[in-house]
Structure formats: structure tokens, C-alpha cells
């Protein structure tokens, strides 16, 4: 499924040498390419991620984000915002949605949130952001933090993973945050692992029924299930709650290229958001460092119909996130 290609890109919907067929006929046909699943960390974290994780009691994050593969290659890197923007430009990505993390300490959430607020303040035309919220804030503190970040311009919540944090789905703080996010129109991105996926360091089981339960309990709240939702629609028959969407984060590490067509035969394409999980290296057998452009090339090779492709790579995010 992996191959080399010439890295020639245009800024916008066309990428990897693939042109918008109507570009010369009607400039209004331009479609943004939005990566709805990006992670970025403050300079204090990037400087020495291993030491930072140890000093701030974030062992699960450190296990997932600072580990190396058997050949010594880093699973991911730690770019700054300028490096992210350069990677976006090279891949033709017009906007990135920065997602928080399922931190184990509330203080880490605050650090992440304020960093993202500054990122979007400096680059409002290129970056949007979701907030990290931890039940350890307590209900009052969690709702206060959610209100603060909303005022600072953050537009959603997540990537959340109560399973990774050891938080019960019945936790009253979690329930209050999800309910408030729904009232404020802030979508919630949830980390999901495929029950059939291989084991890896830091893997946490996330029963798929749990996400259906949450979506049914909070019908006003929009849920985006990361990583193709652990293939929930392929293992459970419809109907599914109509407030569930899916992103494609880390797709090449999880599934073959055929997943794009296979998934979209079960799920309407207006429910799928393009996401990479950058700066995770999605093609470690080819690239020593993350290459955002390769996933852009993969979605263009997916054989989705042109109208469906436009929905997945940009129109859905534009509408759902109001960006």
C-alpha cells in the first residue's frame, strides 16, 4: 500500500499533482483541505518530552508519544507551530484543527489550552483548536475552564479518553462537560481503539458500545470518534446515533488503503472528517519523519467519487466546526 511519489503540491484542495478539474473554469470551486486531527505541544514540552512527562506525572502520554520503534525510529516528533505550518503548506492543507490530549493531570490541560489559544490567536486563518478537560478539575472547575477556553476561541473538546484516564463513563464531571459542550455547540472528539487491533505500548481498550451510550445520553452533543471510530459501523448494524461522526486519524498505521471505500459504503461520507494524527509518523517504512502529504495522496487514491472526496477532505469539517 505504500509507495514513493513525487512531492509536488499546490496550496488548497489539489495536492500531490492532482488538480481540481474545474479550477480553470470556476475559481469558486476551490475547496479547502482541512486536517481535523493534529497534535501540538508547548515549547516546554518539546524541549525534553521524556523529562517533562516524568516531571509532570504524565506516564501514559509519555508511553504513547515518546516511545521508539524496534529500529530506534521515533514514533512521532515534536514540531513547533512554524514547523506545522510548513508541513501544512507542503501538503496543501489549508487549515488544521489542533486537538488536546487525555492528560492525567488538570494542570497539563491548562498548559495545553493556553498554548492553543496563543496558536490560534497568531494564526486564525490556518489553525483552530479543541480543549483538553480533565474530571479532576471538579465539576465547577471543569465548566469554568471550558468557558474560559471558549472565550479564548477554542471550538471543541478533546481528544478525550476517559478509558485512558481511568474515569468512569458515569463520572458526573464528565457528564457535565459533555452536556455543556452540547449546549455551546462544541463538538467532542473521542479517542477510540479498534477491539481487533494489535497490541502496542500504551494501548487501552475502549469498548465501542460506550460511545453509543454516550451519544444516546447526550443527543445535543456532536461526537467525533477518532481513528475511524474503531470501525464501529462495520461491526454493528445501523441505526447508529445521528450525532456521531468519524475521523481518519492514523489510518495507514491501522488499516489498508481500501478502508476509505469500505468504510464509506457503510457510513455516509458527510459523516467522515479527514484527519492525520500529525506529528505521528504514518509511514515509518518509507519516511524517517512524519510526512503529512502522504495521507493527502492516499485519500486522493481512495477512489471516492469527487463529490464525496470534497466532503471528506474539507466540506464536512467546514460545516460541522463552523470554520
CATH number of the domain bearing residue 156: 3.20.20.140
Tens of pLDDT, residues 49-85: 999 999 999 999 999 999 999 888 999 999 999 999 9
Contact call for residues 322 and 155 (beta carbons, < 8 A): yes
Residue 251 lies in a domain: yes
- Inside any domain, residue 22: no
**pLDDT at residue 27 greater than cutoff 80:** no
pLDDT of residue 237: 82
Instruction: Give the mean pLDDT of the chain.
Output: 90
Residues linked to residue 238 through DSSP beta bridges, in sequence order: none
Yes or no: say if 269 and 308 are a contact pair by the CB < 8 Å rule. Answer: yes
Within a domain: 45: yes
pLDDT digits (tens, 9 = 90+) for 154-170: 999 999 999 999 999 99
Domain of 108 in residue numbering reads as 27-321
Question: How many of the other CB atoms lie within 10 Å of CB of 186?
Answer: 23
Residue 212 lies in a domain: yes
Does 259 map to a domain? Answer: yes
pTM of model > 0.75: yes
Kindly report the number of other CB atoms within 10 A of residue 239's CB atom: 6
Is residue 65 in a domain? yes
Residue 245: CB partners within 8 Å, gap ≥ 6?
Answer: 187, 222, 223, 224, 225, 271, 272, 273, 316, 320
How many structural domains are present in the chain?
1
Amino acid at each position: 500500500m505504500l509507495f514513493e511519489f513525487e512531492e509536488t503540491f499546490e496550496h488548497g484542495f489539489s495536492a500531490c499533482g492532482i488538480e481540481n478539474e474545474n479550477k480553470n473554469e470556476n475559481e469558486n470551486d476551490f475547496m479547502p483541505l482541512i486536517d481535523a486531527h493534529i497534535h501540538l505541544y508547548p515549547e516546554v514540552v518539546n524541549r525534553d518530552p521524556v523529562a517533562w512527562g516524568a516531571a509532570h506525572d504524565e506516564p501514559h502520554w509519555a508511553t504513547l508519544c515518546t516511545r521508539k520503534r524496534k529500529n530506534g525510529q521515533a514514533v512521532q516528533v515534536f514540531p513547533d507551530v512554524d514547523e506545522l505550518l510548513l508541513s501544512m503548506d507542503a501538503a496543501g492543507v489549508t487549515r488544521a484543527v489542533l486537538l488536546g490530549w487525555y492528560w492525567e493531570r488538570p494542570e497539563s490541560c491548562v498548559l495545553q489550552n493556553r498554548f492553543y489559544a496563543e496558536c490560534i490567536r497568531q494564526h486564525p486563518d490556518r489553525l483552530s483548536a479543541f480543549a483538553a478537560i480533565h474530571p479532576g478539575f471538579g465539576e465547577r472547575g471543569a465548566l469554568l475552564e471550558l468557558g474560559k477556553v471558549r472565550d479564548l476561541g477554542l471550538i471543541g473538546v478533546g481528544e478525550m479518553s476517559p478509558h485512558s484516564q481511568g474515569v468512569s463513563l458515569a463520572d458526573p464531571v464528565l457528564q457535565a462537560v459533555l452536556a455543556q459542550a452540547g449546549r455551546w455547540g462544541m463538538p467532542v472528539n473521542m479517542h477510540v481503539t479498534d477491539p481487533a487491533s494489535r497490541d502496542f505500548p500504551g494501548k487501552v481498550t475502549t469498548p465501542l458500545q460506550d460511545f453509543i451510550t454516550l451519544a444516546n445520553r447526550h443527543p445535543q452533543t456532536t461526537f467525533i470518534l477518532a481513528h475511524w471510530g474503531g470501525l464501529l459501523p462495520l461491526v454493528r448494524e445501523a441505526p447508529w446515533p445521528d450525532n456521531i461522526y468519524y475521523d481518519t486519524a492514523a489510518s495507514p498505521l491501522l488499516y489498508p488503503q481500501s478502508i476509505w471505500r469500505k468504510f464509506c459504503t457503510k457510513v455516509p461520507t458527510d459523516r467522515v472528517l479527514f484527519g492525520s494524527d500529525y506529528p505521528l509518523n504514518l509511514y515509518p517504512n518509507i519516511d524517517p519523519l512524519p510526512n503529512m502529504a502522504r495521507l493527502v495522496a492516499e485519500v486522493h487514491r481512495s477512489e471516492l467519487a469527487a463529490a464525496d472526496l470534497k466532503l471528506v477532505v474539507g466540506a464536512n469539517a467546514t460545516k460541522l466546526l463552523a470554520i
